[in-house]
Amino acid sequence: MSYHCGGSGSDYGERPLLLDLFCGAGGAGMGYHRAGFDIIGVDIKPQPHYPFEFHQGDALEYLEQHGHKYDVIHASPPCQAFTTMNGMWNKKEHPDLLTPTRKVLLTFHKPYIIENVPGAPLILPILLCGTMFNLGTDTHQLRRHRYFETNILFPLHPICRHRKQVIGIYGDHARCRRRKFGKYEKGMDFPDKDKIRLASMAMGIDWMNWKELSQAIPPAYTEWLGKRILEEIQYVKSTQVTK
């Protein structure tokens, strides 16, 4: 798919500008920042712990009005419409914001990334897990699967490798699970006094509260994605300069 780089007015050699939609407290944004981007985040809720420039407002409205200013756009629309928790008896109805987000993103012809959970209607997504980046605690690997749709071609990526003990962070739980005969046992919650410390260590995040942590993307995921996207941007810009 063809796209244009440099629409924000960023000159070749400067840090490209990335729009972080549905940004939460900035797990994804931090990874892209470490990869080499300047970050601006947008979320409909206040995000007092977001570590970069932040605009509170409707993400889709902001995208429609300002998307052309950015070199790259990342979006993490709410996952409640697709989560496996939808199978519970007390589930609530949630709108699909992923599909309209993609529709607007495609109008800009820029590099984009849409992140979501297993079960979301992403197109040819890349699966990333904490085990690919050696994330975890001293005794447990981080098992946290997230999928990323993008219009950038990626090389082969690390393999998801779970050993016997993993830590999962979701809902109100930091849960230890053991693998036995190829399947995970039910698991056990870590005590409340330990869970935020262990979750922070496992996720590589030290600036969020528990609720923010449980919803965050580990920065290692988007740092890996961001470095590949930055290579592509630099290549496209260099070919434009030499023409």
Per-residue pLDDT of the chain (243 residues; tens, 9 = 90+): 444 454 444 543 489 999 999 999 999 999 999 999 999 999 999 999 999 999 999 999 999 999 999 999 999 999 665 554 444 434 556 688 999 999 999 999 999 999 999 889 999 999 999 999 999 998 889 989 999 999 998 877 778 887 768 888 887 778 776 655 444 455 677 877 888 999 999 999 999 999 999 999 999 999 999 999 999 988 887 887 665
Q: Is the dihedral of CA 19, 24, 25, 28 positive or negative?
A: negative
Per-domain residue ranges of the chain: 17-242
| End-to-end Cα separation, the chain, in angstroms | 21
Residue where the block lists tokens 């840090």: 15
- Residue 12 has a pLDDT of 39
- Residue 189 has a pLDDT of 78
The 3-class secondary structure across the chain, one letter per residue, is CCCCCCCCCCCCCCCCEEEEECCCCCHHHHHHHHHCCEEEEEECCCCCCCCCEEEECCHHHHHHHHHHHCCEEEECCCCCCCCHHHHCCCCCCCCCCHHHHHHHHCCCCCCEEEEECCCCCCCCCEEECHHHHCCECCCCEECCCEEEEECCCCCCCCCCCCCCEEEEEECCEEEEEEEECCEECCCEECCHHHHHHHHHHHHCCCCCCHHHHHHCCCHHHHHHHHHHHHHHHHHHHHHHHHC
- Residue 11 has a pLDDT of 44
- Residue 176 has a pLDDT of 77
Residues constituting the chain: 243
Query: How far apart (Å, rounded) are the C-alpha atoms in residues 192 and 101?
Result: 36
Query: How far apart (Å, rounded) are the C-alpha atoms in residues 13 and 234?
Result: 8
Residue where the block lists tokens 């981007």: 37
- Residue 85 has a pLDDT of 45
Region 17-242: CATH code: 3.40.50
The 3-class secondary structure across 136-181, one letter per residue, is ECCCCEECCCEEEEECCCCCCCCCCCCCCEEEEEECCEEEEEEEEC
- Residue 90 has a pLDDT of 45
Query: How far apart (Å, rounded) are the C-alpha atoms in residues 115 and 98?
Result: 9
